[in-house]
Amino acid sequence: METLLLFFNMGGQEILLILLIILIFFGAKKIPELARGLGRGIREFKDATREIKDEVEDAAKEKPSSVHTNGTTKEAAKPL
């Protein structure tokens, strides 16, 4: 939490002011719904990034089994 405060360079008074503005703007009943939605969004984002990471790791571990070569090698392109 301390690093978050240092990152935004905000103190306790600024955070309380922001929270008060949010409370006035959205109301006390709407804030839990907003927080719940934010939590779901973060969870879905983390799940999606974890899924993509797992797919990339699995693809990197697999050996290409459908590569066909005719026994010849090609020379690499020479720089100009």
Segment 59-74, tens digit of pLDDT:
888 866 555 556 555 5
Report yes or no on 66 lying in a domain.
no
Distances (CA, A) of 6 to 1, 14, 42, 65: 9, 12, 22, 51
Report yes or no on 77 lying in a domain.
no
Residue 31 CB neighbours (<10 A): 14
Report yes or no on 69 lying in a domain.
no
Helices and strands (DSSP H and E) totals, the chain:
3, 0
Q: How many domains does the chain have?
A: 1
Reported confidence tier of residue 15, pLDDT bands at 50, 70, 90 = confident
Q: Quote the pTM value.
A: 0.50
Q: What is the pLDDT of residue 76?
A: 60
Q: Is the pLDDT of residue 55 over 80?
A: yes
Tell me the C-alpha distance between 77 and 28, whole Å.
66
CA angle at residue 51 from 50 to 57, to 5 degrees? 85
Q: What is the pLDDT of residue 22?
A: 86
Q: What is the pLDDT of residue 72?
A: 58
